[in-house]
Copies of this chain bind each other. A is one copy, B any other.
Amino acid sequence: MLGLLREPHSGYDIKKHFEQSLRNFWQAELSQIYPLLQKMEAEGLVRSRHGASDIGPTKRIYKRAQKGTKELHRWLEEGPIIGKDRISYLAQVYFLADLDDIDKAISYMKSLRDEITKKVAALEIIESNWRSNDTRYPNDLADEEFYPHLTLALGIKRLGATGEWCEDSLRKMQVRRRWTNAKRSQL
């Protein structure tokens, strides 16, 4: 949130950023955003002012204070935070054997593949819009776009790899099913 508040934003705006560009690696609900903004203001990390809205109630616009910028830079200069990734569906794959039903496991993997395929397609559309909207692409992107674009590229690359892994796993699972059935009919 400190990163986003280099530019002035309302809580509602911030939520939109989480739903759009940040969703590949982080998410937050409004009910987490609003109290956190208040807390950060109390700590002097951000400052707020009122802003009119074209529509709906008055906005409260937050912007990072000098102290907030310091804190953000401190965090960035600590170096990469690794080993805290969380991928929920892998926890499910890990225990798929428990179902004791390879057909259920295969349909799980198929729906995972389908979801991944959808997400890759969605990200590729975002990327192609980026290319066409910005004639300077790719070498002359502004700083504020360069790094977000890198994270998008990784998102696409990782999802692509994950999709391949799904196909690969499905093949292995199907071999396994045939093999298990053959073994069973020998009894």
Q: Which A positions have Cβ atoms within 8 angstroms of B? A: 3, 6, 21-27, 69, 72-73, 75-77, 79-100, 104-105, 108, 111-112, 115-116, 119, 139, 143-144, 146-148, 150-151, 153-154, 157-158, 160-162, 164-165, 168-169, 172, 175-176, 179
| Cβ-neighbour of A150 out of B99, B146, B164, B169 (below 8 A) | B169
- Does B25 contact A87, Cβ atoms closer than 8 Å? yes
CA distance A116 to B158 in the complex (A): 14
- Does A82 contact B25, Cβ atoms closer than 8 Å? no
Identical copies of this chain, number: 2
- Does A84 contact B76, Cβ atoms closer than 8 Å? no
Q: Which of A90, A139, A168 has the most CB of B within 10 A?
A: A90
- Does B90 contact A76, Cβ atoms closer than 8 Å? no
- Using Cβ atoms and an 8 Å threshold, which residues of chain B touch A108? 76, 79-80
- Using Cβ atoms and an 8 Å threshold, which residues of chain B touch A79? 108, 111
Known contacts being A158-B162, A161-B161, is A25 close to B85, with CB within 8 Å? yes
- Does B85 contact A88, Cβ atoms closer than 8 Å? yes
CA distance A97 to B147 in the complex (A): 7
- Does A88 contact B98, Cβ atoms closer than 8 Å? no
- Using Cβ atoms and an 8 Å threshold, which residues of chain B touch A165? 150, 153-154, 157
